[in-house]
Amino acid sequence: MTTELSPIDRAKFVAARRSCDYVESGMRVGLGTGSTAAWMVRCLGERVQAEGLDIIGVPTSSRTADLARQLGIRVASLDEVKWLDVTIDGADEFDSNLNLIKGGGGAALQEKIVATASDRMVVIADAAKEVRALGAFPLPVETVPFGWQTTQALIEETLVNMDVMGRESTLRMNDDVPFITDEGNYVLDLHLNRIGNPRQLSLVLNQIPGVVENGLFIDICDVVIVGHSDGAVELRDINAGTVADEQIDILDGDNIFAGPEA
């Protein structure tokens, strides 16, 4: 029941619920990865079951694909659908220009590919994800396993000339072994504290041999929906230049919302 959620989960839930208003029958929808995106998938699943919403979902991870199938959402690959009407996903950080850091869940590569293959990207987040400057959240960089330590050294050397406050990088681990992405790659988390020029950093990182992709999403997001624990949501549309405040009912609990996987 939504009334039993923690304040942070209520904020995620209302943002996720409002984002589903961007989805109509017949659409091809990119389905994000992470705790906030899981709420969105559950909200879409509720509409599929209750309203007969007819959509094709393109998941950005195997975890999201499994959840979507469990909820009765038709799932297809990006190669099958070619192009998407909208992608809805969470973010680890966003700034006033709607630039993002994503990839805390280890799916940044698929998330970026799916988002850029969409007419519109809608990001759902709680208010704590907004920052004045990106970089407090570690920046994920997906690398091929071969020679990853060399790639790490090249990244750290490159950071010396970048407008960042920190230059430490760590290999993401899964217990005592390296974390492996769905594409079989490693993730280096860059602890930068502040990124002065995200666009420049993104371009430079992707030129380093061994780097597959980084978690900076620049000029990709169109709308951010910020949820609050009291049911308030703020919609920021970067293209229209508008900001709108709305209220979402968080008291109509549904059995489908038993709580998303992290």
Domain count, the chain: 2
Q: What is the pLDDT of residue 257?
A: 53
74 in any annotated domain: yes
The residue range of the domain holding 96 is: 2-130+219-247
Question: The CATH number of the domain where 203 resides is what?
Answer: 3.30.70.260
- φ, ψ dihedrals at 44, nearest 5°: -65, -40
Ligand-binding site membership of 169 (annotated):
no
Dist. CA 145–CA 22, nearest whole Å: 38
Q: What is the pLDDT of residue 133?
A: 98
Ligand-binding site membership of 104 (annotated):
yes
pLDDT in tens, 64-104: 999 999 999 999 999 999 999 999 999 999 999 999 999 99
Q: In what order do the strands lie in the sheet with 86-89?
A: 74-75, 56-59, 28-31, 86-89, 121-126, 223-227, 232-237, 242-247
Q: What is the pLDDT of residue 262?
A: 37
Ligand-binding site membership of 33 (annotated):
yes
Q: What is the band of 3 on the pLDDT scale with cuts at 50, 70, 90? A: low
Ligand-binding site membership of 258 (annotated):
no
126 in any annotated domain: yes
Burial class (CB in 10 A: 0-12, 13-18, 19+), 77: exposed
256 in any annotated domain: no
Question: The CATH number of the domain where 111 resides is what?
Answer: 3.40.50.1360
Ligand-binding site membership of 90 (annotated):
yes
Q: Show which residues are catalytic.
A: 111
Does 160 share its domain with 59? Answer: no
Ligand-binding site membership of 147 (annotated):
no
Asked whether the beta carbons of 30 and 118 are under 8 A apart, the reply is yes
Does 8 share its domain with 90? Answer: yes
pLDDT in tens, 206-247: 999 999 999 999 999 999 999 999 999 999 999 999 999 999
Does 182 share its domain with 238? Answer: no
Is 2's pLDDT higher than 80?
A: no
Nearest-CA neighbor of 237 among 222, 250, 254, 247? 222
Ligand-binding site membership of 129 (annotated):
yes
Dist. CA 261–CA 214, nearest whole Å: 24
User: DSSP letter at 87?
Assistant: E
